[in-house]
Amino acid sequence: MALTTNTILICAGGGCISAGEESVKQAFERKLKEFGLDTVVKVVETGCMGACSLGPLAVIYPDGVYYQKLTPKAAEKIVEEHILKGRVVPEFLFEGEKEKLTIKEKPRGAEEIPFFARQVKIALRNVGVIDPMSIEEYIARDGYFALHKALTQMTPEEVIKEIKDSGLRGRGGAGFPTGLKWELARQQQSDIKYMICNADEGDPGAFMDRSILEGDPHSIVEAMTIAGYAIGAKQGFVYVRAEYPLAIERLQKAIEDAHAYGFLGENIFGTDFSFDIEIRIGAGAFVCGEETALMHSIEGKRGQPRVKPPFPVQRGLWGKPTVINNVETLALVPPIILRGASWFRQFGTEKSPGTKVFALAGKIKNTGLVEVPMGITLRELLYEIGGGHPQGKQIKAVQTGGPSGGVIPAEYFDTPVDYESLGKLGAIMGSGGMIVLDEDDCMVDVAKFFLEFTVDESCGKCTPCREGTKVMYDILDKITKGEGTMEDIEKLEKLALVIKDSSLCGLGQTAPNPVLSTLKYYRHEYEAHVRDGVCPAKRCKAFISYVINPEKCVGCTACARVCPTNAIRGEVRKVHEIEQDACVRCGSCIEVCRFGAISKVTPAVSSAVAR
């Protein structure tokens, strides 16, 4: 293979693909060919680089210069300027550098950009760095060396001890010690055991598992094989949702290539250990992320949970001892085996060692994927890495753990991020989704959003979960429509506790969490809706009115023209008025008004025509 002068790494994670990565890549290749550089410049598609809001992203090596928000035009310019002439193209440089950069100055590499510099990438070590379709690139980054070490230099017990010593806990959210799970499975007497990778990622806003599968599928193949050796399983399954077609495609290729090299199949590395992996595609039911439901689904049955015990390590898939680990958990296994438990423990805290991947979403500048050491404070995570609020507003709270988690108000942002600390606040670590909320987010509305999700996703097996979440949703709906009573709030609380106590699986047990945690910290917002007819965030339509400030209105008619219900009346160059009965509160008028004359008020104005 010919040597290359430059390598262009293009992020081909889901975010960048939907932002047009494909056409950017084609533009790069077309332009390179035009200049006759296609033989010496390599274009590589990698997994998610993390800064999804700035996609499509590319890094140009050897300089390591990051470019953002690329278009085909931008790609052509970069080839002409950067590749051909070695001149950095400032207008597409990674966020915030444009202003500071003079021509002579060297643009910052990943180690100097705060978004990247504060991260410690272990689970994401290869994501965004290697070509996920190339097993050789994975091997170049020490891939399959951990498997070799485990199979040839360690007994299964030693592998388990290493994982136990590392203190690795399940990254799916519950935080069960991984080594202990393996040990329990190892101790079971059975001719057949199974190893399952849970890739049924379903929390709204969480996409770290998808990114790992898309960006570094071999790490999962290697880790599952190590786990299979440790527990005594010969067969593994990856349960992945059908909504992740790219992850499935790349994983499939990884499995095939691993077979070709003999990292899967009979007598791996010439030892007497044999292991194979099959992909099982789920239909995307949230409950199938629950381990017993997941196993039912693999068996071809309806995806519903069952009573535990017996736990899967005792009686799992087809009644055989089974270990189920989450994608991110598994991605951490090979480095631990290769570099040792004490190496892993240098990151994170005593009880929560290592790193955790978070998906930042909502009102935050750097939405995307970040991996940080456990124990980092929420403030560091949100402000230093996340870049704070995009418009510099106050962040009100952060919602962690998706529909199973809760909100954490800004006054607790100095809390270290670990399993115990988040649990104490009434939130959970969860799979690592973080939705950032600001003053425009109504907490009742947030709770309603998550409840709507769980109402949809409840499998229906347990009555409290099936019926109870619906009743809770209806109450929240009533409150947001201005029909709630103070008794409703108490009823909500009571129902929440009953559902938590009487549901079989994690879905039902955690479904009321968003309501409980918003009630805990933002009860005054619920009460404002019910008692005062006010939505403090001015979000719930029943409690707001749009009004025109006659001092500022110049009568340009822009608002009247855009109003879908013709609720705005007024003559040209005269002050306009909004007819409240006709207004549907869509907000179009605010967006078009260039004079700042329209504002939202709460409580709603009662008169038919308000100024």
Residue closer to other proteins, measured from CB, 65 or 598: 65
Minimal distance, residue 13 CB to other proteins, in Å: 18
Among residues 389, 430, 425, 390, the alpha carbon closest in space to that of 409 is found at 425
Minimal distance, residue 81 CB to other proteins, in Å: 9
Residue closer to other proteins, measured from CB, 3 or 307: 3
Tokens of 256: 């095939």
Residue closer to other proteins, measured from CB, 39 or 485: 39
Burial status of residue 514 (CB atoms within 10 A of its CB: 0-12, 13-18, 19 or more): buried
Residue closer to other proteins, measured from CB, 63 or 527: 63
Contact residues toward other proteins (CB under 8 A) are 1-7, 9, 35-37, 39-40, 61-64, 83-87, 109, 130, 134, 136-137, 139-140, 142, 144-145, 148, 152, 257, 260-263, 269-270
C-alpha span between 78 and 60 (Å, rounded): 9
Residue closer to other proteins, measured from CB, 266 or 474: 266
Instruction: Answer yes or no: are the C-beta atoms of 548 and 598 closer than 8 Å.
Output: yes
Instruction: Answer yes or no: are the C-beta atoms of 227 and 333 closer than 8 Å.
Output: yes
Minimal distance, residue 43 CB to other proteins, in Å: 12
Burial 354-382 (b: 16+ CB within 10 A, else e): bbbbbbbbbbbbbbbbbbbbbbbbbbbbb
Torsions phi, psi for 209 (to 5 deg):
-70, -40
How many CB atoms are closer than 10 A to CB 587? 12
Minimal distance, residue 421 CB to other proteins, in Å: 37
* Angle in degrees, 0-180, between the axes of helices 217-231 and 145-153, rounded to the nearest 10: 10
Residue closer to other proteins, measured from CB, 1 or 307: 1
Minimal distance, residue 6 CB to other proteins, in Å: 7
C-alpha span between 60 and 429 (Å, rounded): 35
C-alpha span between 215 and 247 (Å, rounded): 8
Minimal distance, residue 4 CB to other proteins, in Å: 5
Residue closer to other proteins, measured from CB, 44 or 578: 44
What is the secondary structure of 414-449 as a DSSP string? TSB-SHHHHHHTT---TTSEEEEEETT--HHHHHHH
How many CB atoms are closer than 10 A to CB 486? 11
Residue closer to other proteins, measured from CB, 210 or 218: 218
C-alpha span between 497 and 310 (Å, rounded): 25
Minimal distance, residue 553 CB to other proteins, in Å: 55
Minimal distance, residue 152 CB to other proteins, in Å: 7
Minimal distance, residue 108 CB to other proteins, in Å: 12
Instruction: Answer yes or no: are the C-beta atoms of 578 and 599 closer than 8 Å.
Output: no
Minimal distance, residue 34 CB to other proteins, in Å: 12
Residue closer to other proteins, measured from CB, 65 or 357: 65
What distance lies between CA 459 and its chain's CA centroid?
Answer: 23
* Angle in degrees, 0-180, between the axes of helices 443-457 and 469-480, rounded to the nearest 10: 150
Residue closer to other proteins, measured from CB, 3 or 608: 3
